[in-house]
Amino acid sequence: MITPNPHIAGMAAYALADLSAPPGKRLISLSQNESLRGPSPRAITAAADAITNAHLYPDPDWTTLRTALATHHGIDANGILLGSGSLDLIGCITRTYLGPSDAALAPAHAYPFFSTATRLTGARFDTAPETDLHADPDALLSAVRPETKILFLANPGNPTGTRLPRADILALRDALPDQILLVLDEAYGEFSDHLSEPMFDLTQTSNTIILRTFSKAYALAGLRIGWGLFPPHIAAEVRKTLNPNNITLPTLAAAEAAIEDQDWMRGTCTQTARIRDTFAANIRGLGFDIPQSFTNFTLIPFTSAQAAAEADIYLKSEGLFLRPQSGAALPHVLRATTGVQQDMDIAADLLSNWTKGRAQS
């Protein structure tokens, strides 16, 4: 019988979301961090038109989309790489730079795929404590070891929703050894771009990568496309690990049209923030200590892991699915993606019912 490599055998399989609503209940899924509305109509039209050329391979150099991204963000198109979602790029980065004798580092409540991608290479994954659900630059620096080659930092964070200001990230980068690669995952960057603290310039002066995605603010999660800005010497190496023709023709066309329709994207972000903040205020009124979110979701801490589990069972019995956060070392927390106003009102009402019922028991 053939056996897998030991570091693969020791990993747990990816846990698929359970979205089986009970009989008679309407499914309200707030567990996937999907957009509350669809993509730009221009993106939909562009993808449909591109299907007519499906007999052709897509542009392996993503020329038109890279140009559109460079123009919009004021960056160098030559440093842009595209992946099948930012997860694809994270995996390529770890395969390029990590091996069994290396380590990656991230905050304690980091996006779990950072750990998965690291462990797939046989490398060690280390974490550093956070402070009030914020990544702590001093703790990260203290956790650096001789084996550390990559530091992953999602900003804004998933699942915390919190963010570090530019000054803190610059100080962190300056204090890191030059040979450590800093990977800033800005999957939710468009939800905080109004703060006018872009980080793209770091790719020109240090070993830093900035990752973004079309899945969130641009609502193209189903088409699987992410992108990153890389220093030229790093881009050249990571590109070797990318699959050729990795982005389909319809996806490229949709992403380009989405970039060109900034009004639609900003409208999605504005609508999301309004509904998110109203929901957060409503459940703060129930006694939940909700951190400020700079993303399309709300983190809901409960008094204990048992309380979070009990709430999750109750909510699912009513058809409402949130995302437990044990995988991010937050077993007492549920995460709620921002949905349409009606669904968020139902979620707040159900949390109110659960809170009242628990108090009376």
Give the length of the chain: 361
Residue pair 218/258 in contact by the 8 Å Cβ criterion: yes
Tokens 């009402």: give the residue: 349
pTM listed for this prediction: 0.95
Looking at every residue in the chain, the average pLDDT score rounds to 96
SS3 category, 153: strand
In this prediction, residues 93-122 reach a mean pLDDT of 97
SS3 per residue for 299-353? EEECCCHHHHHHHHHHHHHCCEECEEEHHHCEEEEEEEECCCHHHHHHHHHHHHH
Phi and psi of 126, rounded to 5°?
-110, 155
Residue 220 binned pLDDT confidence (cut-offs 50, 70, 90): very high
Residue 357 binned pLDDT confidence (cut-offs 50, 70, 90): confident
What pLDDT, on the 0 to 100 scale, is given for residue 361? 66
The whole-angstrom separation of Cα 99 and Cα 216 is 31
- pLDDT, tens digit (0-9, with 9 covering 90-100), for 17-75: 678 888 889 999 999 999 999 999 999 999 999 999 999 999 999 999 999 999 999 99
The whole-angstrom separation of Cα 63 and Cα 255 is 12
